[in-house]
Structure 1
Amino acid sequence: MDIDHFILDHQAEWNRLDELCRKGKASPANLDPAELQELLDLYQRTGGHLSVLRTQFFDASLANRLSISIGTARGLIYKKRPTPARAFTEFFTHTFPLGCWRAKRQILLAALLLFGPALASGIWFYESGNTRDAVISPEDQEIIAAESFEDYYSSQEATGWAFQLWTHNITVGVMAFGGCALLGGLGAWVLIQNGLNLGVVAAVMHAQGKGALFWGLIAPHGLIEMTAVVISAGAGLNIAWAIIAPGHQVRSLAIAEAGLRSISALLGAALVFVVAGFTEAFVTPSGLPTFARVGIGVLLELALLTWMFGIGRLRAIEEQNAEIEAELLRPSLHNQKTLQSA
């Protein structure tokens, strides 16, 4: 069978599936029990058609059209209409972590672009006193270690400072997101520049014997703050990758799907920036011992990584298992043809 005959044989079923989906999307109550059963049957059959289409005919445009129809039908069959409270809960338990897990390669790349230069510049400037002195005068290094660095975190009123920090961090995150979405160049520069600056300051503080002070002021908020920047950049890279390599999908559809995932990741990063801002305003300059402040930062980071990748991986496995179960429920096209012939 060629693609034209395949379409001719099944076009009516696909059109009927779309018709039922439109009716159900307006209000699920519009579908009577018979139509719901018909929707389920067409959903299962169209899933089989899509499998054949992808393995035998390689028609990306038609495959994308059927994927959209199947996705809409799946939502009507298996999901209840979300309330605002349920949508809010689902974002935290499903949407954000799953989006991070699916963009894990892009997030890892963004992390390398930030932390790689930070580590390299930190080691270089710490080991090479001449280079360090050429960039920052010895007098300025002493001022940074003795006053400037610590004063930055303790000289502001906490509540107003938290808001300023949040808006600043959001700006950096949006720049990283937008820059990476535009094929990566500007976003990569934002990450590399921030990494270099971090490494240089760390080198100065360690060279002046203030390494413990540095980590005591950076770790409480900085770990999750930098991770949020990485999430934002990774979300942008996810869009850039859809532009460059859409795979079997039509490029416009691949970009749209990547965009939806990326927006959810960016919203999650904004919430992380809120936590980082309040931590930086209230915990970082507090009188808690250094080990306690560092411990708080480490615990926050572990919680964030568990949310992103631990829960995200579980949600991905759940979706994969659901797809396998749906596949097992579908009668094969061969059996359908046999029954129709009989």
Structure 2
Amino acid sequence: MRQEEFEKRYESDWQAFKAQVVLAESFGFYKRSAPGELEAFAERYRKLCYCLALARERQYSPYLISQLDALVFRGHQLFYQKRVGVFRRIYQFILFDLPVAVRAQLKFFLIACALFYLPGLIVFGITLMSPEFVYSVIDSVTVSQIEGMYDPSMDRIGRERQSDTDFMMFGHYIKNNIGIAFQSYAGGIIATLGTQFYLIYNGIFIGVIDAHIINIGYQETFYSFVAGHSSYELTGITLSGAAGLQLGWSIIAPGNYTRRQALINAGKRSMPLVYGAIFLLFIAAFVEAFWSSTTGIPSQTKYLVGIAGWLFILLYFTFAGRGRG
């Protein structure tokens, strides 16, 4: 069937469904004041999904496919998401939607990891061989503050001020982590340049600090501190970077869409990564404030918890949600 015949046959159904979507978005799904207007919503939604599948299979014009895809997305939002409670939606997101989204956008995630980890590993090696290199990247005042945070004689490690409570530090870590994630994501709007900068910068900062801590002999204090929360924090940062790269790439290579529409589409696709980054960074802040800074827990225990965290992240993003992905 030619595209013209296809459109002529199903155009009236699409328009009828679109009218129902507009009504449902305006007044709420299945609102009692207009029950008759939303009859056959499910049937039309299924037919629309069928039409979209046919259009893709027969390789009809990208414009037609994008129009049907956008309408299916709006219908899906109304038909499924608005009929479940908030806790059910959170559960579904964590258990299914987030890992599926990461696997679907694996290319951007791997690029973000490369931009973050590779520069860090390079400067890590340089700083180990040339300890004075740390002062080429970080000012002496900040270096002294970091040294004080991981001094083995401290009662609570990882803090600039011993008087801070766990709850105060929890808020501080959340603010700091979310700030980094927001910069990494929003920077993508500048054709990925901002995201690349923040990923590389933070990777270099962490790599230099790691090596400097080893050079001054504080490695046991430092690594026992970061072990518990590093998997969640670093993965959260790279997820936000992957989302930012996707935004920027939509501007560089919009494909058959206008740059505005491509950016809108990329924003929708990247939001699960952003929500996932916030979720992981929240966990990291909690662990960092209430577990990592405690000196009464043996280092070996903290290392085991850290290894378990990385294994969990790997298995979670590899296997979770497979039944729906």
What does 1:189-338 align with in structure 2 at a 5 Å threshold? 189-248=197-256, 251-286=259-294, 287-312=296-321, 314=322, 318-319=324-325
* 1: CA distance, partners of 2:200 / 2:82: 44
TM-score (norm 2): 0.79
Cα 1:17–1:119 shift into 2, 3 Å: same
Match of 1:15 in 2: 15
1:175 aligns with 2:183: yes
CA distance 1:170–1:79, shift in 2 (3 Å) = closer
Say if 1:8 and 1:194 are closer, same or farther in 2 by CA, change over 3 A: same
From the superposition, tell whether residues 173 and 80 of structure 1 become closer, same or farther in structure 2 (CA, over 3 Å): closer
Task: Check if 1:62 corresponds to 2:64.
Answer: yes
CA contact (8 A) 1:176 1:233 kept: yes
Between 56-65 and 1-10, the greater mean CA deviation after superposition: 1-10
Give the TM-score taking structure 1 as reference length: 0.76
Q: What is the CA distance between 1:76 and its match in structure 2?
A: 6.4
Distance in structure 2 (CA, Å) of the matches to 1:118 and 1:73: 44
Instruction: Give the aligned partner of residue 122 of structure 1.
Output: 124
Shift of 1:60: 1.8
> Do the aligned residues in 2 keep the contact of 1:96 with 1:268 (CA within 8 Å)?
yes
In terms of fraction of residues, the more helix-rich structure is 1
Give the number of equivalent residue pairs. 311
Change (3 A) 1:302 1:247: farther
CA distance in 1, matches of 2:158, 2:118: 25
Q: Which runs of 5+ in 1 are unaligned?
A: 320-342
The equivalent position to 2:158 in structure 1, one of 153, 156, 164, is 153
- In 2 relative to 1, CA 63–212 (structure 1 residues): closer, same or farther, beyond 3 Å? same
| CA distance in 2 between partners of 1:99 and 1:53 (Å) | 24
Structure 1 window deviating more from structure 2 (72-81 vs 7-16): it is 72-81
Between stretches 167-176 and 255-264, larger displacement belongs to 255-264
Q: How far apart are residue 21 of structure 1 and its match?
A: 4.5
Q: For structure 2, which runs of at least 5 residues remain unmatched after alignment?
A: none
How far did 1:87 drift? 2.1
Q: In 2, Cα distance between the equivalents of 1:179 and 1:141? A: 25
Give the counterpart letter for 1:115 in structure 2.
Answer: Y
Partner of 1:82: 84
Looking at structure 1, the residues matched to 39 and 285 of structure 2 have their Cα atoms a distance apart, in angstroms, of: 52
Shift of 1:298: 2.6
Is 252-261 or 277-286 further displaced after alignment? 252-261
Is 2:105 the counterpart of 1:103?
yes
- RMSD (Å), alpha carbons: 3.5
The SS at the match of 1:183 is: coil
Aligned equivalent of 1:338: none
Q: Give the 3 Å change call, closer, same or farther, for CA 250–308 of structure 1 in structure 2.
A: farther
- Measured against aligned partners, the alpha-carbon deviations of 1:255-294 in whole angstroms (never above 9, x if no partner) come to 3233133233222322222221222222222121111112
Offset at residue 47 of structure 1 (A): 4.3
Q: Give the structure 1 partner of residue 133 of structure 2.
A: 132
C-alpha displacement at 1:55, in angstroms?
5.0
In the aligned structure 1, how far is the partner of 2:53 from the partner of 2:134? 64
Tell me how far 1:126 sits from its aligned partner.
Answer: 0.8
User: 1:98–1:142: structure 2 CA closer, same or farther, 3 Å change rule?
Assistant: closer
SS of the equivalent of 2:133 reads helix
CA displacement at 1:175 relative to structure 2: 0.7
Q: Residue type of the partner of 2:18?
A: D
Q: Distance in 2 between matches of 1:22 and 1:143?
A: 60
Higher relative contact order (CA 8 A, sep 6+): 1
Q: Which has the larger radius of gyration?
A: 1
1:174 and 1:74, CA in 2 relative to 1: closer, same or farther beyond 3 A? closer
Contact kept? 1:224, 1:297, Cα under 8 Å:
no
Q: Does the Cα contact within 8 Å between 2:96 and 2:324 map onto a contact in 1?
A: no
CA deviations on 1:145-168 (whole Å, 9 max, x unpaired) are: 964533561423222111111111
In structure 2, distance between residues paired with 1:78 and 1:277: 32
Once residues 204 and 35 of structure 1 are traced to their aligned partners in structure 2, the CA distance between those partners, rounded to angstroms, is: 67
CA distance in 2 between partners of 1:262 and 1:136 (Å): 32
**In 2, are the aligned partners of 1:142 and 1:208 still within 8 Å (CA)?**
no
Deviations 1:202-235 (A, max 9, x none): 2222223333333112222233212111111111
